[in-house]
Amino acid sequence: MSQNSPNTNVQVLLLEGVSQEAVRIFEKEYGKQNIEYITYALQEDELIKKLQEKKVTILGIRSKTKVTRKVLESASNLVTVGCFCIGTNQVDLNAAKEMGVTVFNAPFSNTRSVAELVIGATISLFRGLGEKNIKMHNGEWCKSAKNSYEVRGKNIGLVGYGNIGIQAGVLASGLGMNVYYYDPIDKLRIGNAISCKSLKDLLSVADVISLHVPDIPQTRNLINKEAIAQMKDGAFLINYARGSIVDIDALDEALTSGKICGAALDVFPEEPASNKEEFVSKMTAHENVLLTPHIGGSTTEAQTDIGISVAKKLVSFAEVGTTDGAVNMPELNVPKKSEHTRINHIHNNVPGVMRKINKIFADNNINIAGQFLQTSGSVGYCVLDVCLDGSAVEVSQIFKELKEIEGTIKVREL
Ligand code: NAI
């Protein structure tokens, strides 16, 4: 990518104080003068103005900047948006796809952070640290081994065996725990992890249950009264996934009755929108519930990793055309650029487009040295290496003809 001098055709706008690691990557690639760094989110109108004024090609945001259809329609130079976070709800992904704007995020950057905290919570629950900590703060010295256990040899049940579930399982196994998991998708078992045929099977065997499923209709209130009844008496529950997954009233009842001996919760059905708002929950009444403010994935390491991972994806996309990890484009891994001219053609996935692209080059006696194509749903994503040196026809004429192909969404030279 980075040659001797920075590529000054690219204009980068970074909002919401994305990490300095990301800034350094862009500065190296494009030079300081082509990067604007703003520490806060811009409102729609300000964002539109900025994107147009600066002819921004790469936009970096976190979760607060809303990249709406209106924003995307107004930003004709924009080729990619990097979400320096996990979620991408703040971007109108369909509109971006229709306009050939490729969106990236960092889905795995905080996986390890969550998994580590699950282990911290597991040990804390088995040792009753929640109550002990509150008592100490109140001046109570309560030295006792009662209801205090090692985690070694205990059963941890992971509901959802995806990125976080697997990592948590590996760490738990290192502590000598027996790892059980339930996932409707057939997953490769890591180490000695045991797959359960049903959620019921898992709930009935686990001493501590940890939830690692997405927030989808099938997982809403997955842990309800009926599921709790299937748990071992005195089990622990950890929810570091999403608040909607646990029926909080049912949990409240189970904690009061002692059916569930303790819980660790990082996510809630209703969470304060900012640090200025009060946290209100029935769970504050239970001393044996460890409460954290949705910080499962919030570590310095995760933030650094997000910065590096998203910045690299954006540069690789802008310079080489690689869409690996894109959330709204067909994923295509292309080799490094050679001495040829590289062109990216994004189009509607309909018959005949590739034939028309190839015809333009053939008619102009231009050799295609390499062609890479991936389609997904409504979009076709193509990267071409062509030999324009010595060609009689103007490059601008070739681009004009490529743009005129029916179904073309975006064409750019890399
Ligand atoms: P993932 O997509 O890698 O794994 C989710 C797994 O859940 C998949 O294997 C899927 O097949 C499985 N699954 C789906 N429906 C299921 C069901 N009904 N029963 C059992 N398994 C089911 O997701 P990842 O990265 O492991 O994240 C898991 C959760 O953690 C998500 O809800 C995510 O939002 C949350 N999370 C929370 C953070 C925090 O700060 N507390 C930070 C990062 C993620």
Write out residues with Cβ below 6 Å of ligand 1.
86, 110-111, 114, 159-165, 182-185, 212-215, 218-219, 240-242, 266-267, 294, 296-297
- pLDDT bucket at 36, cuts 50 / 70 / 90: very high
C-alpha to C-alpha distance for 106 and 324, rounded to whole angstroms: 12
In angstroms, the Cα distances linking 325 to 106, 214, 362 are: 8, 19, 33
Q: What integer pLDDT is reported at residue 5 of this predicted model?
A: 52
Contacts of 100 (CB under 8 A, 6+ apart): 79, 346, 409, 410
Looking at the annotation, which residues are catalytic?
A: 242, 271, 294
For 187-268, strand residue ranges (E) read 194-195, 208-211, 235-239, 260-265
Q: Which has the minimum average pLDDT: 19-33, 231-245, 383-397?
A: 383-397
In angstroms, the Cα distances linking 21 to 13, 27, 359 are: 15, 10, 44
Tell whether the model's pLDDT for residue 363 goes beyond 80: yes
Mean pLDDT along residues 175-188 = 97
Q: Which of 143, 129, 110 is nearest to 291 (CA)?
A: 129
Q: What integer pLDDT is reported at residue 391 of this predicted model?
A: 74
Answer for the pair 9, 50: CB distance below 8 angstroms, yes or no. no
Summarised one tens digit per residue, pLDDT across range 295-354 is 999 999 999 999 999 999 999 999 999 999 999 999 999 999 888 999 999 999 999 999
Summarised one tens digit per residue, pLDDT across range 24-35 is 999 999 999 999
Answer for the pair 91, 103: CB distance below 8 angstroms, yes or no. yes
Summarised one tens digit per residue, pLDDT across range 213-226 is 999 999 999 999 99
C-alpha to C-alpha distance for 43 and 60, rounded to whole angstroms: 14
Mean pLDDT along residues 218-243 = 97
Count of positions (residues) in the chain: 414
Contacts of 145 (CB under 8 A, 6+ apart): none
Q: What integer pLDDT is reported at residue 392 of this predicted model?
A: 76
Helix (H) or strand (E) run with residue 92 in it: none
C-alpha to C-alpha distance for 208 and 228, rounded to whole angstroms: 12
Percent of the chain with pLDDT over 70: 98
The tokens for 110 are 């905080």
Answer for the pair 346, 380: CB distance below 8 angstroms, yes or no. yes
> How far does the centroid of ligand 1 lie from the alpha carbon of residue 67, in Å?
25
CA 95, 100, 106, 107 torsion: positive or negative? Answer: positive
Answer for the pair 45, 53: CB distance below 8 angstroms, yes or no. no
Tell whether the model's pLDDT for residue 1 goes beyond 50: no
Tell how strand 379-387 and strand 12-14 pair up.
unpaired
In angstroms, the Cα distances linking 226 to 73, 105, 158, 180 are: 49, 37, 18, 20
For residue 298, the ligand 1 atom closest to its alpha carbon is 40
Is 111 in a helix, a strand, or coil? helix
Answer for the pair 180, 219: CB distance below 8 angstroms, yes or no. no
213, 238, 246, 295: which to mutate for ligand 1, most atoms within 8 A of CB?
213
> How far does the centroid of ligand 1 lie from the alpha carbon of residue 93, in Å?
21
Tell whether the model's pLDDT for residue 258 goes beyond 50: yes
> How far does the centroid of ligand 1 lie from the alpha carbon of residue 272, in Å?
22
Mean pLDDT along residues 12-26 = 94
Tell whether the model's pLDDT for residue 4 goes beyond 50: no
Q: What integer pLDDT is reported at residue 394 of this predicted model?
A: 82
Residue with CA nearest ligand 1 atom 43 = 297
Which amino acid type is present at position 296?
G
Tell whether the model's pLDDT for residue 212 goes beyond 80: yes
Tell whether the model's pLDDT for residue 3 goes beyond 50: no
The tokens for 376 are 């997904």
How crowded is the C-beta side of 139, counted as CA atoms within 13 Å? 0
Q: What integer pLDDT is reported at residue 2 of this predicted model?
A: 43
- As a dihedral over the C-alpha atoms of residue 349, residue 351, residue 354, residue 358, rounded to 10 degrees, the angle is -160
Tell whether the model's pLDDT for residue 274 goes beyond 90: no
Tell whether the model's pLDDT for residue 195 goes beyond 90: yes
Q: What integer pLDDT is reported at residue 393 of this predicted model?
A: 80
> How far does the centroid of ligand 1 lie from the alpha carbon of residue 214, in Å?
4
Mean pLDDT along residues 258-286 = 95
63, 89, 183, 222: which to mutate for ligand 1, most atoms within 8 A of CB?
183
C-alpha to C-alpha distance for 21 and 30, rounded to whole angstroms: 14
**Domains within the chain, CATH numbers bracketed:** 1-110+299-329 (3.40.50.720), 111-291 (3.40.50.720), 338-414 (3.30.70.260)
Mean pLDDT along residues 134-153 = 96
Mean pLDDT along residues 150-179 = 98
